[in-house]
Amino acid sequence: MSSTSKGTPVPWSYYLIRLLFQFVLKIFYGTIVIENTHYVLPDGEPCIVCANHSNSLTDALLLVIAMPQKIRGMLRLTAKATQFGHKTFTSWLIESAGTVPIQRRKDNPDGTVDNSQVMLKLMEALEAGDAVCLFPEGMSRYHPTIAPLKTGVARLVSDILTRNRDNLDFTISILNCSVTYMHRQHFRSDVLVTFHPPMRFSPKTHPELLAPIEYDHIREVTSQMHDQISSGTIDAPSWGLVRTAKLTARMYAPLGTRMRLGDYIRVTRAFLEVFKSLDDSAQSDAAKEQKELLHDLNEYQDKLVRLGIKDDRVMRPLRRTVILTRIIVRFTWSLALFSISLPGLALWCPVFLTTFIAVKNFKKTGPIFDTWDEIAQYKLIYGLASGISVWFSAVMLTLPFAAFTVVLVPALMWITLRWLEDAVSAFRALRALLRLLLVGQGTLKGLSEQRKDLHSRVMNLATQIGLPNNPEMYFLSTGGREKGRVRGKWESTTRYFSVKRRRKRDWNETLRLYDKVDYPEDDS
């Protein structure tokens, strides 16, 4: 059986759902950067799309909009069976997108599941040339490490190759994808989606996957999948290591958003891999130096958190007069922006309040490891529902002018969001400057000396692991005009006044009045 069609015809509801996903995600996340879309296989080529799973339903929505519509018309999703059959907006959303229900052992009291019919439907869809989305970790969870992958995807590949063993030209591919959220549950944070070269299989090239099969071959395919997915994201055993790796990356290349998000993630990961490899048994001189560096970086970051200042203010110290001048400017600017945002904030307040209450109540239902991966999902769904209600109510209240308000209300809400982002950014800078003013000159001098020593050791480590020895020049010159990237002072200035997207100074920014550095630990 060979796929000669262009895949299953895309229902009109899928286009509507995709458009809805795209709208909501682009409102919630500040920048969504998608890399390597040339690896996405066109309609008609059987393809299993696999990704790491840390953000519940949001991961699936993100993959739907990440697939270029001109190349791949539809991505068939899968979701846990417990999401289906409810009279909720979430359930309707999942079912309308053509999602296939998957049973999980943890959701059944007796621990038994039967997904045989589901697997048959997936194989038939793949044989028709469709793309199917599966999350091989098996479940979403709030933890910085990728869980051991289940072997279901590799077994599905084996089964479909066996069904088509007489057609040596039949090919099925696994398209692995890495998803990295800077702060998955925070409003206006950033996301990186990276596609990897597809893993292709056919009866001719992989006869070892035809039944009867040795299970080692299944495990080998699963291991290759894990290596690809892990290579494009931050895969850490603890949040503490994530924090330290991000600090190290910022010290190595303090370029902010002039550096591509993908490069920033890869540099962070390079340092993280070094720190992950350290254990008590490592006794070499290099390992001892790296352990001491890890300890000293943690100590330095703790000091910054206690003082409420950022590393760039230690790297580029300001005179007291400059600090005072900037405090006045930031205060004036944030006050002006908050003032002009007030009319639009009246429209946003019901949205913010609804999502706040929904998330607060949801957090009470379980521990961090079981609930925090669904926070973004709750914010997206409740934010969308309350936002539509606000828009509809505003139009009804201004019915004689509905032809205008139907467009003006969402336009006002968007420009308010832009002003609010700038206002919060200015206030966050004001807060940091006030904290900096309270830090004594002696303390700052001590921090500066500590940073110089740490920077020298970080650069030495970067050289050892093969990173460029002149990062500021190298990363400014690499890449084109990637989405969200700010390349120079002129673009940085013009981006500040852009209606479409605000200029960020740091990929770590979110719409919060303080800088997000620490993470809640998974106490499971």
Answer whether 247's CB lies under 8 Å from 454's CB: no
Per-residue pLDDT tens over the stretch 178-193: 999 999 999 999 999 9
Distance, CA of 428 to CA of 292 (rounded, Å): 32
- pTM equals 0.91
Q: How far apart are the first and last CA of the chain?
A: 47
Where are the domains positioned within the chain? 12-231
Buried b (16+ CB within 10 A) or exposed e, 121-142: ebbebbbbbbbbbbbbbbebbb
The domain made up of 12-231 has a fold known as Glycerol-3-phosphate (1)-acyltransferase (3.40.1130)
Question: Which regions in the chain score pLDDT beneath 50?
Answer: 1-4, 523-524
Task: Identify the three-state secondary structure at position 175.
Answer: strand
Answer whether 315's CB lies under 8 Å from 453's CB: no
Q: Report the alpha-carbon angle 147-462-436, nearest 5.
A: 90
Answer whether 478's CB lies under 8 Å from 262's CB: no
What is the pLDDT, as a whole number, of residue 357? 95
Question: Of how many residues is the chain composed?
Answer: 524
What is the pLDDT, as a whole number, of residue 104? 65
Task: Identify the three-state secondary structure at position 321.
Answer: helix
Distance, CA of 103 to CA of 107 (rounded, Å): 7
What is the pLDDT, as a whole number, of residue 153? 95
Task: Choose among 268, 413, 395, 435: nearest CA to 348.
Answer: 413
Average pLDDT, the chain: 89
Tokens 């702060």 locate to 183
What is the pLDDT, as a whole number, of residue 489? 76
What is the pLDDT, as a whole number, of residue 1? 43
Task: Identify the three-state secondary structure at position 79.
Answer: strand
